[in-house]
Structure 1
Amino acid sequence: MKIFKYLLFLILILIIGTSIYVATLNGDFQIEETKIINAPKEVVFNEINELRNWQDWEPWSGEAEDMILNYSDNTSGEGASYSWKSEKMGNGAITTTKVNPFSSIQQEITLDAAFGESQNEVYWKLEKVENGTQVTWGMKGEQSFMEKAAFMFREESLSEMMQPRFAKGLQNLSAAIEKKMDVYAISVDGITQHGGGYYMYTTTASKVSQINEKMGNMIEDIAAYMDQNNIERTGNPFVLYNEWNQENNSAIFSAAYFTPNEVITPAESPVLTGYMPNQKVVKTTLKGNYDNLQEAWDKAYAFIQQNNLQLSEEGKAFEVYLTGPEKSKNPAEWLTSIYIPVQ
C-alpha cells in the first residue's frame, strides 16, 4: 500500500514538474517563407487579397479531400474572411484585418485543434524586384500551454511542420498567377467600317521583336506632347504599320492618337499630323498578352483568305490598344483591336 502511495506521489511530482517545465518554455514562434514571383505587385496582391482565390494554391486543401469552405459576403479587403471544416486537417478560419494596397496584408488565423483553439497573426509583404515581386508569407504568435505540451512529443516542431507547407503554398501561388496571366482569347469580328480621322503620330523603324518595347515609349511621348500643348486626344492609342518586311524581320510603324480636328504643328515638331480615311476593314480582337498578337494577325489574314477578300492597296493595317499596361498590370486583361483595310 505504501509503495502504491509512493508511486502516486512520484507520478504527481512528475506531472507537476513537467507542467512547470512546459509552462516555462518560450512559446513564441515565427514562420516565414519568401519567393520571387514573375508578376507585377498589383497582380500578386489582387490574387492574395481575394480569398476565393486561395483554394487554387493554398497547400492544405490538397491534403484533405473532406475540407468544406464557407465564405463571408465580402471576400476581399479588410473584414473579408472564410472558414473551413475538416476531420483530417481540423477546423479554422482566416480574416483579413489590415490591407496596404499592393504592399502588405495582415490577417488573423483561428485554428480549432484537438488541444484547443488558437489565434495567430498571418502576414504578407510584397516588394518589387527586378524579376517581378518578392513575396513574403509568414505567421507568428504564441503557443498555448497545451500546444507546447503537444509538440514536446512530436518529432517535428511547429516551424518544421509548417515551413514546407508555406514554401509549397508560394510555389502554388506562383504557378496559379502565371497560369492566369497567360490566359488569352482571339476573335475575328469580321468586316466593319472604320471612321478614320485626323491623328498625331511619330514614326520609327525597328526589328519586329522590338516593336512592343518601342511603341510603349512612343505612345507616352505623344501623349506628353499633346498634354503640354493642350491638344485633345480622341479614343485610345494605336500603332499604324507603314511597312512590314518579313524577310528582313523589320518594320516601319507609327504610334499615334486620334484628334477631333486637324492640328497644324511647327516644322521642328517631333510629332506630326496625319489623316486616315473612312474605310472598310476586317476587325480582330485579342484579349491577352501582346505576345499573342502574331497569332491574332495570322487568324485575321486567314479569315481574309477564306472569304476571298482583297487587301486595300492604299490602306494601312493598325492596332488599337483599348486596355494596356497603363490601365491594368495583368496581361490577361489587355484588350487590342486589329484593323486590316480591305477593298
Structure 2
Amino acid sequence: MKILKYLFFLILLVLIGGAIYFGTKDGSFDLAASKVIKAPAEVVYNNVKDFKSWEEWGPWMEEDENMEITYAEKTEGEGASYSWTSEVMGDGSMETVKVIPNKEIDQKISFNTPMGDSNSDVYWYFEDTENPSETKVTWGMKGEQTFMEKVFMGLFSNEDFETTLKTMYETGLNNLEESVMEDMKQFTVNVDGITEYGGGYYMYTSTSAKSSDIGSRMAPMMGQVMGYMQENNIQTAGMPFTIYNQIDEANGTLIFSAAIPVRDRVITPEGSPVVCGFMEPTTALKVTLRGEYGNLPNAYTKGEEYLTQNNIQKDNAKSMFEVYATDPGNVPNPANWVTEVYIPVLKTQNPESNQ
C-alpha cells in the first residue's frame, strides 16, 4: 500500500509540475511567411480576396482531399466567410474583417477541436517592390495558444507549432505563385471577320529591328510619341497602335512604326523624330487577342488560316497593324489585355462585315 501511495504522489507531482511548466510557457505567437511574386499587386490580391479561389492554392487541400468546404453567401470583402470540416485538419471557420484593396486583408480564424475552440488573427500584406511587376506577399497569423493546445503541442506533436505553421504558409505562398503565373498565361484568340477600319491621322516614330526585339523597342518608342504630344499639347484620338511597314521573313527583320491617333493633321519641325501620318480607310480581317502580347503570333496564325480557308486575298499594298485596346497601366493582369489585329484584304472580294 505504501508503494501505491508513493506512486500516486509521484504521479501527482509530475502532473502538477507539467501544469506549472505548460501554464507558464509563453503561448503568444506571431508567425508569417513572405515571398516576392512576379506579378502586380492587384493580380496577386485578386487571387486571394475571394475564399473560393483558395481551393486552387490552399496548402491544406494537399493534406486532406476529402475536406468539406461550405461557403457563405458572401465570399470576398469585409464580412465574407467560409467554414470547413476535415478528419485530418479538424473543423473551423474564417471571416474577413478588414480589406484595403491591393494592400491588406485582415481575417479571423477559428478552430473547433476536442480541446476547445481556438481563435486567431490572420493577415495579408501586398507590398510594392522596386520592380513594378513584382509584389512582396506576406501571409501570417497571430494569437494566443490555450493551455490545452500548449500541452498537446508539447507532448504529442513531432514538430513545434511555429515550424508547422510557417511551413504551411510557405507552401501556400508557393502554390499561390503557381496559380498567379498560370492565371497570367491565359489567352484567347477570336477571328471577328472582315471589317472596315476608318483610318485617320496619327503621330508616329519608326525604326527597324529584329522580330525578337519588337517587345523591348515598342515601349520606349510609344513613350517618345506620347512625350512629344504632351509637350506640344496634342490630344490623342484613340488607342495606340503599331504599323508593320515592311517585313523580311527570311532575315527575321522588319520596319515598324509606333503610333497614336490624333484628330487633325499636325505639322512637325524638320528633323523631328516624331511626325504625322495618315491611314486611308481600310478593309481588313480583324482578329482579337485577349492575353499577353507574346501571344500575338497565335492571332496572326489564326488570321492567316481564316484567309486561306475562305479564299480571301491579302492586300499586300497595305500594312498590317495592331491596336492596343487596353492600357496595361490600368489593366495589370496580362490575361485581360485586348489587342486588335488588322490584316488588310482586297476590297474586290466584297467581304461580309461583322461590325
Secondary structure of residue in 1 paired with 2:48: helix
1:20 counterpart letter in structure 2: I
Structure 2 partner of 1:205: 208
2:316 counterpart letter in structure 1: E
1:54 maps to 2:57 = no
Deviation per CA, 1:202-227: give whole Å up to 9, x if none: 11222211212222222233233323
1:236 maps to 2:234 = no
Equivalent-residue separation in structure 1 for 2:145 and 2:277 (angstroms): 71
Structure 1 partner of 2:112: 112
Structure 2 partner of 1:294: 297
State the 4+ residue runs in structure 1 displaced beyond 6 angstroms.
none
1:184 maps to 2:226 = no
Secondary structure of residue in 1 paired with 2:13: helix
Equivalent-residue separation in structure 1 for 2:85 and 2:91 (angstroms): 4
Secondary structure of residue in 1 paired with 2:17: helix
Secondary structure of residue in 1 paired with 2:110: strand
Structure 1 partner of 2:172: 169
Structure 2 partner of 1:41: 41
Secondary structure of residue in 2 paired with 1:52: helix
Q: TM-score, normalization: structure 2?
A: 0.89
Equivalent-residue separation in structure 2 for 1:313 and 1:60 (angstroms): 58
Equivalent of residue 154 in structure 2, options 134, 149, 152: 152
Identity %: 44
Report how far residue 276 of structure 1 moved.
Answer: 0.9
Secondary structure of residue in 2 paired with 1:146: helix
Give runs of aligned pairs for residues 1-80 of structure 1, distance below 5 A.
Answer: 4=4, 7-80=7-80
1:306 counterpart letter in structure 2: Q
Across the aligned residues of Structure 1 and Structure 2, the Cα RMSD in angstroms comes to 2.2
Equivalent of residue 263 in structure 1, options 256, 266, 278: 266
Structure 2 partner of 1:87: 87
Structure 2 partner of 1:135: 137
Equivalent-residue separation in structure 2 for 1:126 and 1:205 (angstroms): 40
Report how far residue 129 of structure 1 moved.
Answer: 5.4
Report how far residue 254 of structure 1 moved.
Answer: 0.9
Report how far residue 44 of structure 1 moved.
Answer: 1.3
Equivalent-residue separation in structure 2 for 1:331 and 1:196 (angstroms): 27
Report how far residue 285 of structure 1 moved.
Answer: 0.8
Deviation per CA, 1:175-195: give whole Å up to 9, x if none: 111111111111111211111
Secondary structure of residue in 1 paired with 2:239: strand
Deviation larger for 267-276 or 149-158: 267-276
- How many residue pairs were aligned? 343
Secondary structure of residue in 2 paired with 1:53: helix
Equivalent-residue separation in structure 2 for 1:333 and 1:118 (angstroms): 41
1:13 counterpart letter in structure 2: L
Q: TM-score, normalization: structure 1?
A: 0.92
